[in-house]
Amino acid sequence: MNTLVSVLYIVAFVLFIYGLMGMTGPRTAVRGNWIAAAGMAVAVVATLLLPGMGNWPLIALGLGIGAVIGVPAARRVKMTAMPQMVALFNGVGGGAVALIAWVEFRVTTGYEAEPRYVAIASLFAAIVGSVSFWGSGIAFGKLQEILPGRPVTLGRLQQPLNIVVLTAAVVCAVIIASGGRSELLIIGVLVAAGLIGVMVVLPIGGADMPVVISLLNAFTGLSAAAMGLALDNTALIVAGMIVGASGSILTNLMAQAMNRSIPAILAGGFGGGGDAGAATVSGAGDRPVRSTSTADAAIQLAYAGRVMVVPGYGLAVAQAQHAVREMADLLEAKGIDVAYAVHPVAGRMPGHMNVLLAEADVPYEALKEMDESNSAFPQVDVSLVIGANDVTNPAAQSDPSSPIYGMPILHVTSSRSVIVLKRSMGSGFAGIDNALFTDAKTAMLFGDAKESVAGIVEELKTL
């Protein structure tokens, strides 16, 4: 039986890696997801075949509850709510690891007669898993707008308090590893780590939330790998390390895309969550805003030779991706080149815009990364910005006093003209005004993005 389990685990690992490889592009992402899911199913079956496995009714109950809650939730979630769904599911994984660590403490009577590495790995998993669970819960609340998107901080006391609470968790863990048997100690570890998760994520604003979700995802993977080491479960170790490594790499890439360090992001205090009381761009209030209509926008697009669509979170909110695809088809039928400039952190999670456009069957070849897009903008006749805010703000390049100064952006002002589709002049996640809206090249088309694009489509049909 042990040989069979080992073989099944190897099959599961191969499927994990092959599935992950499939997620490198939209065309193979769905297949890759199914392959990885099949690998997890194989790993679960292999684990259930381990000698000594029992209490089958409880296992069946757990699997049933998970399926009843997870499957409908994943199928019904709207694309705009996908980031908070990811945060929630990720947090559940971290919470599960923390609970397993607690159970392991009780079953082994405080790791009595267990090797020292088992206690250390289990306590590490308890701390990191609890941080991930509670931190993901706060991230979910901010994204779902249950909690304020702006930074919530204690000012100068924030970092000292974080250090005190983290020290408390570590001290309790050290006492346990040194032979402490009181269950209050493991509860203290979980509570203190949970407070750290809350206190670290609350001060982080909406602008940094995509990076936070990716970082917490990496935390969950690392906690699972550590718990696998404590339980001598190869599947947990491998799967956890894959998640931890990929999440860490993604977090670093996203931080670089925002020109911000991970410590600076964790320090919090940046990003107003799009509140009305936004900081003002220097001189922006003195410049007039030029508005346009769907008819004028359609004419401008119809006589262009090259159009670049710049999607953002507003596109996801309005669910305008299918209307955009219809508009692009009409323009391409007129011989106009249409491409899509996708910023790495556009939206509320990594790859948000890619997934959204793939849902509308936008060809993958039409999606251009930031560097390629910026090289192309000088040859673009019309840049159509749909709900993208901070990632197009020229202040990131021109205003040293701006909170986003130095952040790589899409240089839409390099194109010959710009049309911005937006409900209002409100700010983005960074909580600052966008100088693009008052640029001489820019025309603002106010209203719901889906309705505006649909209006442009109807006008194009008459031209």
CA distance 152 to 12: 42
| Confidence (pLDDT) at 337 | 94
Is the whole-model pTM more than 0.75?
Answer: yes
- Cα angle, residue 366 at apex, residues 363 and 369 outer, rounded to 5°: 125
| Confidence (pLDDT) at 282 | 43
Block residue for tokens 């346990």: 176
Block residue for tokens 């607690």: 102
How far does the chain reach from its first CA to its final CA, in angstroms?
Answer: 71
CB-based contact 230:121 (threshold 8 Å): yes
CA distance 397 to 405: 6
365 contact partners, CB below 8 Å, separation of at least 6: none
Instruction: For residue 291, give both structure tokens.
Output: 């508005």
CB-based contact 290:436 (threshold 8 Å): no
The one catalytic residue among 296, 381, 390, 433:
390
> pLDDT under 70 in the chain at which residues?
1, 26, 206-207, 268-287, 427-431
Is 371 marked active-site? no
The answer to whether the Cα torsion of 370, 375, 376, 381 is positive or negative is positive
Output the DSSP codes for 184-218: HHHHHHHHHHHHHHHHHHTTS-GGGHHHHHHHHHH
| Confidence (pLDDT) at 387 | 85
CA distance 124 to 172: 12
State the number of CA atoms in the 13 A half-sphere of 392 facing the CB.
Answer: 35
Instruction: For residue 36, give both structure tokens.
Output: 């990885």
3-state secondary structure of 286: helix
CB-based contact 415:257 (threshold 8 Å): no
Instruction: For residue 164, give both structure tokens.
Output: 């005190």
CB-based contact 380:308 (threshold 8 Å): yes
| Confidence (pLDDT) at 269 | 54
CA distance 463 to 247: 48
CA distance 413 to 91: 40
- Quick one: DSSP state of residue 258? T
CA distance 310 to 312: 7
Block residue for tokens 């909110």: 317
CA distance 444 to 439: 10
Block residue for tokens 């006008």: 459
| Confidence (pLDDT) at 73 | 87
Which residue type sits at 333? A
| Confidence (pLDDT) at 11 | 94
Block residue for tokens 């815009």: 353
CB-based contact 203:151 (threshold 8 Å): yes
| Confidence (pLDDT) at 332 | 94
3-state secondary structure of 415: coil
The answer to whether the Cα torsion of 79, 81, 87, 92 is positive or negative is negative
3-state secondary structure of 343: coil
Burial environment of residue 52 by CB neighbours within 10 A (0 to 12, 13 to 18, 19 or more): exposed
For 224-247, what is each residue's pLDDT tens digit? 999 999 998 888 999 999 999 988
CB-based contact 181:110 (threshold 8 Å): yes
71 contact partners, CB below 8 Å, separation of at least 6: none
